[in-house]
């Protein structure tokens, strides 16, 4: 019988081989320690000492008045507003509304003269008419000799003495076999709305046989804009207008002299 003796060193080495430990590749990042409640309390008390304390006092203990009186102005009523507007309207400058009229600067031909001119020139301006509800516009009628079925009538117009001009076609109206009637519309526009503004135009009649022009004997057709203000004439009496024209009264004339002359005119019975 054999007695087996275990070596303690060998037994320890065997136990080391069975115990396995995991070692991390890097050390964990240390986290910042949070503030404790004691630190926050200490900081709060430090800030509190720097803030001035509020004191409450009552008016009667300091000798002040217990009431505060304030005065208010009463608002104007609607009737007062209407009176102010009526009074203000007396001194407000009146808006002068202009009245526009067109004035052709050529003589409208008679029927016989028109027929003769159409046969001779192949194209002629027949008439010009204002347009209702459009005081700045007018319509012109043109008569052409029917020498070809294919025809075109164009208008060349200007408002600045031919520094700039525009071409536009005329519209066919009707025909009687021998002649055809065309029409076109022109209108004044800003900045050409002053008294005496002019629109000049000529007419070109294009046919396969050639082009024909109507230009009022080489002086062009022109329409003038006349601007007037009826309110100024309505406010002045005929007697006042006569005196103003005869005396040429201006802003520098003495008021007493004007009144004296007007009284003398009235006593003498002057009239238009």
Average the pLDDT over 191-213 and give the result: 95
* Average predicted confidence (pLDDT) for the chain: 76
Output phi, psi for 200, to 5 deg.
-105, 145
Is pLDDT at 204 greater than 70 in this prediction?
Answer: yes
pLDDT band (50, 70, 90) for residue 243: very low
- How much is the pLDDT for 24? 59
Nearest to 144 by CA among 65, 222, 206: 206
Euclidean distance between CA atoms 268 and 271, whole angstroms: 9
pLDDT band (50, 70, 90) for residue 240: very low
Between residues 151 and 57, which one has the greater pLDDT?
Answer: 151
Structure tokens at 203: 């007419």
Q: At what angle do helices 238-247 and 255-268 cross, to 10 degrees?
A: 120
Is pLDDT at 97 greater than 80 in this prediction?
Answer: yes
Is pLDDT at 118 greater than 70 in this prediction?
Answer: yes
For residue 205, with 0-12 CB atoms within 10 Å meaning exposed, 13-18 middle and 19 or more buried, which class applies?
Answer: buried
Nearest to 144 by CA among 176, 122, 171: 122
Output phi, psi for 16, to 5 deg.
-70, -35
Is pLDDT at 57 greater than 90 in this prediction?
Answer: no
DSSP codes, 192-214: --STT-EEEEEEEEEETTEEEEE
Q: pLDDT tens across 165-183, in order? A: 999 999 999 999 899 999 9
Extended beta strands in the chain, E state: 99-104, 123-131, 134-145, 152-158, 166-169, 171-175, 179-187, 198-207, 210-214, 221-228
For residue 147, with 0-12 CB atoms within 10 Å meaning exposed, 13-18 middle and 19 or more buried, which class applies?
Answer: middle
Its CATH architecture, for the domain 99-228, is Sandwich (2.60)
Euclidean distance between CA atoms 222 and 198, whole angstroms: 6
Q: What DSSP designation does 251 have?
A: T
Is pLDDT at 36 greater than 50 in this prediction?
Answer: yes
Euclidean distance between CA atoms 123 and 119, whole angstroms: 8
Q: What is the pTM of this model?
A: 0.52
Q: CATH 2.60.40.2440 region(s) of the chain?
A: 99-228
% residues pLDDT > 70 (the chain): 65
């Amino acid at each position: 019988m054999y007695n087996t003796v275990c070596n303690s060193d060998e037994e320890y080495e065997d136990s080391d081989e069975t115990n396995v430990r995991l070692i991390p590749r890097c050390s964990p990042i240390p986290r910042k320690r949070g503030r404790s409640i004691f630190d926050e309390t200490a900081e709060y008390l430090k800030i509190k000492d720097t803030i001035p304390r509020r004191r409450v006092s009552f008016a009667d203990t300091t000798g002040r008045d217990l009431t505060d009186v304030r005065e208010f102005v009463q608002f104007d009523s609607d009737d007062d507003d209407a009176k102010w507007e009526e009074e203000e309207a007396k001194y407000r400058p009146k808006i002068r509304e202009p009245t526009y009229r067109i004035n052709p600067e050529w003589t409208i031909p008679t029927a016989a003269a028109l027929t003769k001119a159409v046969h001779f020139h192949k194209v002629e301006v027949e008439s010009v008419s204002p347009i209702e509800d459009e005081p700045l516009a007018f319509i012109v009628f043109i008569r052409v000799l029917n020498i070809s079925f294919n025809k075109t009538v164009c208008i060349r117009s200007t408002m600045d003495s031919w520094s700039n001009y525009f071409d536009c076609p005329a519209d066919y109206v009707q025909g009687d076999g021998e002649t055809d009637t065309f029409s076109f519309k022109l209108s004044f526009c800003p900045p050409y709305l002053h008294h005496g503004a002019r629109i000049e135009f000529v007419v070109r009649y294009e046919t396969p046989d050639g082009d024909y022009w109507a230009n009022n004997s080489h002086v062009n057709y022109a329409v003038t804009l006349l601007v007037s203000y009826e309110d100024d004439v309505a406010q002045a009496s005929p007697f006042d207008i006569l005196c103003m024209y005869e005396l040429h009264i201006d802003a520098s004339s003495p008021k007493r002299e004007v009144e004296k002359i007007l009284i003398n005119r009235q006593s003498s019975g002057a009239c238009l």
